[in-house]
Amino acid sequence: MARVFFTPQLQRFTATPEVETGAPTLRGALEAAFAVNPRLRGYVLDDQGHLRANVVVFIDGRRCSERVALADPLTAHSRIHVLQALSGG
């Protein structure tokens, strides 16, 4: 099962469940997490369901560059990390 991890920074706003999922794509994996905590959706995705501009996702160490469809394929052992993009000072 693929596993999804969220940055601990999100925990000051909302719960970040660590989920295991058989979803075949990134969007499916994120939906599995949103099913546990629906509030989390608005922190990761914007109004149109796109990845927020300052959120970054890594799948098995590879940074996802496609931010709209979120159709990156997952394997049964994928590790997905949802992080904040570094910015500001």
Binding residues for another protein (CB under 8 A):
9-10, 13-14, 39, 42-44, 46-48, 50, 52, 54-55, 84-85, 87-88
Nearer to another protein, 73 or 88 (CB): 88
Q: How far apart are CA 65 and CA 68, in angstroms?
A: 9
Helix or strand run (H / E) with residue 57: strand 55-59
Nearest-CA neighbor of 10 among 33, 26, 35? 33
CB of 64 to another protein, least distance (A): 16
Nearer to another protein, 50 or 79 (CB): 50
